[in-house]
Amino acid sequence: MRIILLLGGARSGKSSLAVEMARQRGGKVLFVATAEPCDEEMKRRISAHRKSRPGGWRLLEAPLNIANEIGKNIGTSKTVIIDCITLLVNNIFEKYGEKATSGTLEKAIESEINALLDGAEKSPATFIIVSNEVGLGIVPADSVSRLYRDLLGRANQMLAARADEVYFLVAGLPVTIKNTLQDVDS
């Protein structure tokens, strides 16, 4: 078991690095996509992402309950890519709607992330998890956007705390934030 977290801004190269890491590992790959094609732009993005992946990889589209879905579909995969937590958190927001309280959303997100991490830690596969870092920009103007930013930040912290490796991508270049495997070798 190994968990790798790739963080960065939009178009920083996270997904490309995840694909390259999986290619280098070889073996069977399960690609877990959390995006839903809700508009034309998202449909184009999903199509472009599909074209960038090797044809032999299995695709699992799981907008929610990803730990359960991965458990049912992982098979003998050597690597699992989850792209991305940013959209998973958005999907949870959409599921609960505007009437949800911050406490309800926080519990739902923590439950989803903990289930994912628990499953990853029990699996022999390497999990490569992609998420956006959204806490570096300006403070969002409305309360819902601020809540989203805060809860995604909390999800990223949970992932980073239990990950073996964490990389922050800037202009396509990965910067090592955490590498417990390297620390053991030193």
As annotated, the active-site residues are: 49
* 102-122 and 143-162 helices, crossing angle to 10°: 20
Pull the structure tokens for residue 136: 């570096």
Chain centroid to Cα 22, Å, comes to 14
How far apart are alpha carbons 162 and 165 in whole angstroms? 9
Torsion angles phi and psi, residue 138, rounded to 5: -70, 160
Chain length of the chain = 186
SS3 95: helix
